[in-house]
Structure 1
């Protein structure tokens, strides 16, 4: 089975003095596949690592590129080719970016609340939800319902 993420090339490369780096790359790929919630990209990564370990040059090159760095948030947000690894767009990268954004926003709200002399938890609660007349939360972007006096 050849994955959609792997351009198949049956040329082989000899192992070089960077065998330790390559072994770390294979180890990193295994750890990434273990945490990937998407079975398609996890399987593609396992296949890619197997092909790279067997000397397939294109697989090794793609694996090295997929783990050559981390995807950076730019002016257009997160953009990259779909595929496994920290330098590709996938569910693990999106989850990490979302967690980072949430942590940043939480810290910013807490800092703003401290500057105003309020408790951070009340600032977060007031900024995110309100309670309707029947007790369920409503997004704060909705206008408040007017009640007859």
Structure 2
């Protein structure tokens, strides 16, 4: 095994990051972003990287019903004033806060939420971008294969 300051390389040739971000912190996901003003989206994603984890923290003692109701309540504001958020307007701050709260509520759902190439979740899950590469489905497939081999060897 060869260790570097940034990555660990295993014999199989799979590189696994040495550290993962804490639960609730945004993780960048590679996906195509909408074709909009790049500077405005850059500001929005930067602001969401701070606001969503703060909202996740505030919601941690809430019940699942409270989080779901809060998420539902944000949909009306985002639907009515989402254009102010993208292009500026008197409801811009209200829309941003609704978006951050809605994303935070969705982070508590199984699989979390991905928006504008950022992923938030409160628990690791299969195919979670916070998981080191090669440990999600590949690990589960390997377990199934070894379980199958063991069963085949028994008389």
User: Would you call these one fold, judging by a TM-score over 0.5?
Assistant: no
Given the two structures, how large is their TM-score scaled by the length of structure 2?
Answer: 0.31
Identify which of structures 1 and 2 has the higher relative contact order when contacts are C-alpha pairs closer than 8 Å and 6+ apart.
2
Which structure is higher in strand share?
A: 2
The structure with the largest alpha-carbon Rg is 1
Give the TM-score taking structure 1 as reference length: 0.32
